[in-house]
Amino acid sequence: MPLLDSLTAISLLLLVRVLCIQASVHSYAGEKFSRKGNAFVVHGGSEGIYYSHPNLNESSASSNGDAYIRFEKITFQRTEESSNISTGFIYAILFEVDDRETIGGSAYGGQRAICCTSDLAKLGACKEGEVIHRLSTRNPGWPEVFYVPFDSTEKTFIMQPRSVQITRTGMYNLYFMHCEPQLVDMVVQGKTIWKNPSGYLPGRMAPLLNFYGFMSLAFLLLGIFWFSQYARFWKEVLQLQNCITLVITLGMFEMALWYFDYAEFNESGVRPTGITIWAVTFGTVKRTVSRLIILTVSMGYGVVRPTLGGLTSKVVMLGATFFVASEVLELVEHVGAVSDLSGKAMLFLSLPVAVLDAFFVLWIFTSLSSTLNKLQAKRMMGKLDIYRKFTNALAVAVIVSVGWICYELYFKSTDIYNEQWQNAWIIPAFWHVLSFSLLCVICALWAPSQNSMRYAYSDDGSEEFDKEDSLMLIKPSPVATKEVSEMRSALQSEDGDLEEDKTE
- Lowest mean pLDDT across 261-265, 268-272, 320-324: 268-272
Considering the domain boundaries, does residue 502 fall inside one? no
pLDDT over 60 at 18, yes or no: no
Do residues 155 and 213 both lie within one domain?
A: no
Exposure letters 465-479 (e unless 16+ CB within 10 A, then b): eeeeeeeeeeeeeee
Considering the domain boundaries, does residue 9 fall inside one? no
Do residues 145 and 287 both lie within one domain?
A: no
Considering the domain boundaries, does residue 491 fall inside one? no
pTM of the model: 0.80
Q: Which long-range contacts (CB under 8 A, 24 or more apart) does 13-21 make?
A: 14/328, 14/331, 14/332, 15/277, 15/331, 15/335, 18/331, 18/332, 18/335, 18/336, 19/273, 19/335, 19/336, 20/336, 21/336, 21/337, 21/338
> pLDDT tens across 393-446, in order?
999 999 999 999 999 889 988 888 888 999 999 999 999 999 999 999 999 988
Considering the domain boundaries, does residue 460 fall inside one? no
3-state SS, residue 146: strand
Q: Which helix (H) or strand (E) holds 191?
A: strand 187-195
The CATH number of the domain holding residue 240 is 1.20.1070
Do residues 60 and 183 both lie within one domain?
A: yes
User: What is the mean predicted confidence (pLDDT) over 97-115?
Assistant: 83
Considering the domain boundaries, does residue 13 fall inside one? no
Do residues 163 and 230 both lie within one domain?
A: no
User: What is the mean predicted confidence (pLDDT) over 433-462?
Assistant: 78
Considering the domain boundaries, does residue 211 fall inside one? yes
pLDDT over 50 at 23, yes or no: no
Do residues 266 and 414 both lie within one domain?
A: yes
Distance CA(125)–CA(128), nearest Å, equals: 9
The predicted structure's pLDDT at residue 489: 56
The predicted structure's pLDDT at residue 422: 92
Q: How are beta strands 170-178 and 68-77 bridged, if at all? A: unpaired
Residue from 292, 191, 303 nearest 246 by CA: 292
Distance of CA 187 to the CA centre of its chain: 33
The predicted structure's pLDDT at residue 117: 85
Specify whether the CB–CB gap between 446 and 244 falls below 8 A: yes
Residue from 124, 104, 86, 98 nearest 39 by CA: 104
- Lowest mean pLDDT across 30-34, 39-43, 205-209, 470-474: 470-474
Do residues 153 and 271 both lie within one domain?
A: no
Distance CA(67)–CA(61), nearest Å, equals: 8
| Predicted confidence band of residue 11 (pLDDT cuts 50, 70, 90) | very low
Do residues 309 and 260 both lie within one domain?
A: yes
Domain final position from 195, 221, 242: 195
If one counts the domains in the chain, the total is 2
The predicted structure's pLDDT at residue 382: 82
Do residues 374 and 402 both lie within one domain?
A: yes
The CATH number of the domain holding residue 85 is 2.60.120
| Predicted confidence band of residue 452 (pLDDT cuts 50, 70, 90) | low
Task: Tell which wins on pLDDT, 330 or 111.
Answer: 330
Domain final position from 145, 167, 195: 195
User: Which residues, listed in sequence order, are joined to residue 177 by a DSSP beta bridge?
Assistant: 41, 91
Do residues 153 and 252 both lie within one domain?
A: no
pLDDT over 70 at 496, yes or no: no
- Burial of 173 from C-beta contacts in 10 A (0-12 / 13-18 / 19+): buried
Specify whether the CB–CB gap between 34 and 40 falls below 8 A: yes
Considering the domain boundaries, does residue 488 fall inside one? no
3-state SS, residue 337: coil
Do residues 330 and 386 both lie within one domain?
A: yes
DSSP output for 366-390: HHHHHHHHHHHHTT-HHHHHHHHHH
> pLDDT tens across 61-97, in order?
444 568 999 999 999 988 877 666 666 789 999 999 9
User: Which residues, listed in sequence order, are joined to residue 36 by a DSSP beta bridge?
Assistant: 39
| Predicted confidence band of residue 456 (pLDDT cuts 50, 70, 90) | low
> pLDDT tens across 152-166, in order?
667 888 899 999 999
Domain extent at residue 259: 206-454
State the SS3 of 410-442: HHHHHCCCCCCHHHCCHHHHHHHHHHHHHHHHH
Specify whether the CB–CB gap between 267 and 296 falls below 8 A: no
Considering the domain boundaries, does residue 20 fall inside one? no
Do residues 180 and 271 both lie within one domain?
A: no
Contacts of 467 (CB under 8 A, 6+ apart): none
Domain final position from 454, 479, 495: 454
% of the chain exceeding 70 in pLDDT: 77
Do residues 257 and 169 both lie within one domain?
A: no
Q: What is the mean pLDDT of the chain?
A: 81
| Predicted confidence band of residue 305 (pLDDT cuts 50, 70, 90) | confident
